[in-house]
Amino acid sequence: MTRGTRATIIQGGRAKAYRPMAAADRRAAFDAGLEAYERGDVFLAHELLEPAWMGTPDLAERELIQGLIKLAGDAGEPTGVDVPTLLAAIEDRLAAPIDVGAPPIPVRGRARG
């Protein structure tokens, strides 16, 4: 879908920004965002992940990246999400061949604080 000169994609029933980005560039942005998370620089993580989120038409990829962006926005607030465990599980899942029967990624753990 295109509004004027701005491309959008329907995600969660709403039009969201879509700025096409090559897969290799999205992966580099994703990796840089995770590295910023690991260093504790959650604002930078948010900024680095956003172009990767806007750059993919794949809804599952968008949901994953948007979830990480939301975690960055909630930094400092106890969410019950064990971010290091979540990031490790995501990295493992991204590195593995697709397995539709794989168990869900665990996201609950100790509260951050």
pLDDT given for residue 112 in this prediction: 37
First-last CA distance in the chain: 41
Q: Give this prediction's pTM.
A: 0.63
Buried b (16+ CB within 10 A) or exposed e, 72-91: beebeeebebbbeebbebbe
pLDDT given for residue 101 in this prediction: 65
How far apart (Å, rounded) are the C-alpha atoms in residues 45 and 29?
A: 9
pLDDT given for residue 62 in this prediction: 87
**Segments in the chain below pLDDT 70:** 1-5, 73-83, 93, 96-113
Q: What is the full DSSP assignment across 18-77?
A: -----HHHHHHHHHHHHHHHHHT-HHHHHHHHHHHHHT---HHHHHHHHHHHHHHHTTTS
pLDDT given for residue 12 in this prediction: 82
pLDDT given for residue 25 in this prediction: 93
